[in-house]
Amino acid sequence: MWIPILRSLSHKYEDYIIGPHKLWDILLETTNSNTSATTLAQLQYLAKMTFKGVHKGAKSRAIASGASGSGMQIVISGEDLHQITAWRSEKSQENNDGATGEDGQLRKHPLKPYLDYIGYLYQRTEPLSEQERFEIGYRDFLQAPLQPLMDNLEAQTYETFEKDTMKYDQYQKAVHAALLDRVPEDKASAIITVLMVVGAGRGPLVRASLQAARETGRNLRVYAVEKNPNAVVTLNSLIKLEGWEDVVTVVSGDMRQWAAPEKADILVSELLGSFGDNELSPECLDGAQRFLKEDGISIPSSYTSFIQPITASKLYNDVKSHKDITHFETAYVVKLHSVARLAPSQPVFTFIHPNFSPRRDNRRYKKLLFELPADTGSVLVHGFAGYFDATLYKDIHLGIEPSTATPNMFSWFSIFFPLRRPVYIPAGSALEAQFWRCTGATKVWYEWAVTGPSVSPIHNCGGRSYWV
Pair (17, 122) in one structural domain = yes
Is the separation of the CB atoms in 344 and 148 below 8 Å?
no
Pair (310, 451) in one structural domain = yes
Mean pLDDT, residues 338-347: 97
Residue 135's pLDDT is what?
82
Pair (263, 313) in one structural domain = no
Whole-number Å distance between alpha carbons of 136 and 120: 24
Pair (10, 123) in one structural domain = yes
Pair (65, 103) in one structural domain = yes
pLDDT in tens, 143-159: 988 777 677 788 888 88
Instruction: Tell me if 171 is assigned to some domain.
Output: yes
First to last CA, the chain: 55
Instruction: Tell me if 280 is assigned to some domain.
Output: no
Instruction: Give the pLDDT band of residue 422 (cuts 50, 70, 90).
Output: very high
**Which of 119-128, 205-214, 317-326 is least confident?**
119-128
Q: What is the CATH number of the domain that holds 420?
A: 2.70.160.11
Is the separation of the CB atoms in 111 and 118 below 8 Å?
no
Residue 107's pLDDT is what?
60
Residue 134's pLDDT is what?
77
- φ, ψ of residue 214 to 5 degrees: the values are -65, -40
Pair (324, 196) in one structural domain = no
Q: What is the CATH number of the domain that holds 242?
A: 3.40.50.150
Pair (345, 459) in one structural domain = yes
Hey, which residues are catalytic here? 270, 279
Residue 64's pLDDT is what?
42
Mean pLDDT, residues 184-206: 96
Instruction: Tell me if 358 is assigned to some domain.
Output: yes
> Interhelix angle for 155-162 vs 229-242, to 10°?
50
Residue 82 has pLDDT above 70, yes or no: no
Instruction: Tell me if 295 is assigned to some domain.
Output: no
Provide the residue type at 7 as one letter.
Answer: R
Residue 98 has pLDDT above 80, yes or no: no
Residue 314 has pLDDT above 90, yes or no: yes
Is the separation of the CB atoms in 260 and 223 below 8 Å?
yes
- Residue of 146, 134, 266 whose CA lies nearest to 194: 266
Pair (113, 162) in one structural domain = no
> By residue range, what is the domain housing residue 309?
303-463
- Residue of 390, 356, 407, 389 whose CA lies nearest to 174: 390
pLDDT in tens, 252-264: 998 888 999 999 9
DSSP state for residue 76 in the 8-state scheme = E
Three-class SS state of 115: helix
From 73, 108, 127, the end of a domain falls on: 127
Instruction: Tell me if 30 is assigned to some domain.
Output: yes
Three-class SS state of 232: helix
Instruction: Tell me if 343 is assigned to some domain.
Output: yes
Residue 428 has pLDDT above 60, yes or no: yes
Pair (193, 89) in one structural domain = no
Pair (117, 184) in one structural domain = no
Is the separation of the CB atoms in 171 and 208 below 8 Å?
yes
Pair (355, 391) in one structural domain = yes
Whole-number Å distance between alpha carbons of 397 and 395: 6
Residue 19 has pLDDT above 50, yes or no: no
pLDDT in tens, 429-451: 999 999 999 999 999 999 999 99
Residue 40 has pLDDT above 80, yes or no: no
Instruction: Tell me if 438 is assigned to some domain.
Output: yes
Instruction: Tell me if 468 is assigned to some domain.
Output: no
Structural domain count, the chain: 3
Pair (44, 82) in one structural domain = yes
Q: Mean pLDDT in the chain?
A: 83
pLDDT: is 129 or 306 the higher one? 306
pTM recorded for the entire structure: 0.75
Q: Hey, CA dihedral for 178, 280, 433, 320, is it positive or negative?
A: positive
- Measured in whole angstroms, the distance separating CA 250 from the mean position of its chain's CA atoms is 33
Three-class SS state of 152: coil
Whole-number Å distance between alpha carbons of 468 and 443: 6
